[in-house]
Chain A
Amino acid sequence: MKVERSVRVEDKLFCNRYLVDAGRPHIKVRAHTKPSPQLLALLKACPARCYDLNDKEQVEVTVDGCMECGTCRVIGEPTGDIEWGYPRGGYGVLFKFG
């Protein structure tokens, strides 16, 4: 599946303030061999492009840059594909304008 590359999300996220809670990601993807349609949908629906495919064609999540909107929770939590929570207090995205 080809993910939209024409717009560089990285550049957008670069202007945001973010505090990484190293080693304690607040979202986890359940181990899988073949990703479900819901999991694949996250590659495109996530506005921070946190989800990507690894070289085994499995879906991975990198939460650095996550804006905690909850879109992946709404799509991926009911099927058990992801475990979703908020970052620890003070960590994660810090909006200056919001």
Chain B
Amino acid sequence: MIEERFDAIVVGAGMAGNAAALTMAKKGMKVLQLERGEYAGSKNVQGAILYADMLEKLIPEFREDAPLERHLVEQRFWIMDNRSHVGLHYRSEDFNEERANRYTIIRAQFDRWFSSKVREAGATVLCETTVTDLAQDAYGRVIGVRTDRQDGEIHADVVVLAEGVSGLLGTRARLRERPKPNKVALAVKEMHFLPRETIEARFNLNGDEGVVIEAAGTISGGMTGMGFIYANKECISLGIGCLVADFQRTGRTPYELLDRFKRHPSVAPLIEGSEVKEYAAHLIPEGGYKAIPQLYGDGWVVVGDAAQLNNAIHREGSNLAMTSGRIAAEAIFQAKSRRLAMTKENLALYKRMLDRSFVLKDMKKYKDMPRLMHTNSQNFFLTYPQLISKAMQTYLRVDGTPKTEKQKSTLKSFVNARSWIGLFGDAFRFARAWR
């Protein structure tokens, strides 16, 4: 056993773990952070968009040296059928501000930088170390961790579980359930490299301006899922994800889905001639507010993806991870500075603080959305995109058909597909889940 005792052990060096370790180290706590990858970021996968506000609260001057790709000036949302897409674009010169609001990043590089800040703040960061179990006393209180190193048991007052979506330790210790197939999505992603001038020309960008495209429709083959295309400096992150339960049900393969997305006539020209340098896969928590587990107990707290903190509607995950990590660290520090033991009762402060933050307020707002999307996937991801696309084509194609007839046939196609009751029902349920 390692005799040295720590104030806190943080498991994982992703967004949540780094935020927690940094916050506690800055406050002078004795922090040990354990990461199973060769370096922080080597096991982490994300799209990825970084929201500046949440990082600014941790590292106000991050823009000086953080590895940022492009600041976003444009957001596109595509509803796709097999041959076309109907798009909603928002582009604003206002996003060309000095302190930009959103950036694309490359996680392996960003996390490495983030980890260097954690080290600078005084935390001990130990990579290439897999935590195999939580160490618990006879009363079930968490007193530390066991690792795959020799003499690998290490003790601390509190363990911060920032172990990611799969969250092995917490589930092994029966602190929470393992994620279920209908509460996680599997996303696959490729990195497509192209000269930066080519990317800027294809996406209509100047300098470091960036664009993200989110896409839904027949590309997911009736499964609950979305595709994404993010422009980085010299590469494009392109991926697609669907619920694991849907993959299980349909027998579709993730790589075939990715390949179909890449070959779509709206996507193919964007990546033509690119060199693929990495293929990655990752789970995304999709269960929403109702899937959030117990967040604290005797000697432990759970943060980020491991706590299912992901707002699927707004595609916000890493900022919730960062914020929950920071808030957990602040709660722990408050307990410590009042000389309180790290008991379940005292660590409940973390949950109270999280309840007051945007993290749980936003999650709560969309608490009914996952069920609506997951139980109506055929309508939302197959029927409607096809109907909308057909309606647009009918509207735009000039062929001598009187407009009244066109409108009638479009309306009829919607009613035939979903019936009046179905249409009103879908609209009502959607509005209710959204409000």
Residues of A near any B CB (own CB < 8 A): 3-4, 6-7, 9, 12-13, 15-16, 19, 38, 41, 44-45, 47-49, 67-71, 73-75, 77-78, 84-90, 92-98
In the complex, are the beta carbons of A47 and B168 less than 8 A apart? Answer: no
Closest B residue, CB atoms, query A71:
B186
Separation of A94 and B40 alpha carbons in the complex (Å): 10
Which residues in A have their C-beta under 8 angstroms from that of B48? 98
Q: Which of B129, B248, B254, B277 makes the CB contact (< 8 A) with A96?
A: B277
**What per-residue 1/0 map shows which CB atoms of B392-405 lie under 8 Å from chain A?**
00000000000000
Nearest 3 interchain pairs by C-beta = A90-B128, A70-B166, A98-B108
In the complex, are the beta carbons of A75 and B244 less than 8 A apart? Answer: yes
Which residues in B have their C-beta under 8 angstroms from that of A96? 108, 277-278
B70 interfacial contact with A, CB 8 Å: no
In the complex, are the beta carbons of B248 and A41 less than 8 A apart? Answer: yes
Given contacts A69-B186, A90-B127, A93-B43, whether A47 and B256 have CB atoms under 8 Å apart is no
Task: Provide a sorted-by-A list of 24 A–B residue pairs whose CB atoms are within 8 angstroms.
Answer: A4-B253, A12-B255, A44-B251, A44-B253, A47-B255, A48-B281, A67-B281, A69-B281, A69-B282, A70-B184, A71-B186, A71-B283, A74-B178, A74-B179, A74-B180, A75-B248, A84-B168, A86-B36, A93-B43, A95-B41, A97-B108, A97-B237, A98-B45, A98-B107
Separation of A48 and B188 alpha carbons in the complex (Å): 10
Which residues in A have their C-beta under 8 angstroms from that of B247? 41, 44-45, 71
Q: Which of B44, B130, B252, B253 makes the CB contact (< 8 A) with A87?
A: B130
**What per-residue 1/0 map shows which CB atoms of B164-208 lie under 8 Å from chain A?**
011010000000001111001010101100000000000000000
Minimal beta-carbon separation of B317 from chain A (angstroms): 14
Minimal beta-carbon separation of A16 from chain B (angstroms): 6
Separation of A13 and B191 alpha carbons in the complex (Å): 12
Minimal beta-carbon separation of A25 from chain B (angstroms): 14
Minimal beta-carbon separation of B253 from chain A (angstroms): 4
Question: Chain B, interface size: which category?
Answer: 35 or more
Select the residue from B46, B132, B181 with max chain A CB neighbours within 10 A.
Answer: B181
B389 interfacial contact with A, CB 8 Å: no
Closest A residue, CB atoms, query B282:
A69
In the complex, are the beta carbons of B281 and A71 less than 8 A apart? Answer: yes
Which residues in A have their C-beta under 8 angstroms from that of B277? 15, 96-97
Which residues in A have their C-beta under 8 angstroms from that of B168? 84-86
User: Which residues 265-308 of B sit at the A interface, judged by CB distance below 8 A?
Assistant: 276-283
Minimal beta-carbon separation of B172 from chain A (angstroms): 9
Separation of A75 and B168 alpha carbons in the complex (Å): 14
Q: With contacts A75-B244, A94-B37, A96-B108 known, what are 8 further pairs, Cβ within 8 A?
A: A12-B255, A45-B186, A48-B281, A67-B280, A85-B132, A85-B168, A87-B36, A95-B107
In the complex, are the beta carbons of A89 and B108 less than 8 A apart? Answer: no
Given contacts A69-B282, A96-B277, whether A88 and B42 have CB atoms under 8 Å apart is no
User: Which residues 381-431 of B sit at the A interface, judged by CB distance below 8 A?
Assistant: none
Separation of A49 and B258 alpha carbons in the complex (Å): 14
Separation of A68 and B165 alpha carbons in the complex (Å): 11
Separation of A97 and B188 alpha carbons in the complex (Å): 13
In the complex, are the beta carbons of A47 and B188 less than 8 A apart? Answer: yes
In the complex, are the beta carbons of A4 and B256 less than 8 A apart? Answer: yes
In the complex, are the beta carbons of B186 and A47 less than 8 A apart? Answer: yes
In the complex, are the beta carbons of A95 and B178 less than 8 A apart? Answer: no
In the complex, are the beta carbons of B43 and A95 less than 8 A apart? Answer: yes
Given contacts A4-B256, A47-B188, whether A71 and B244 have CB atoms under 8 Å apart is yes
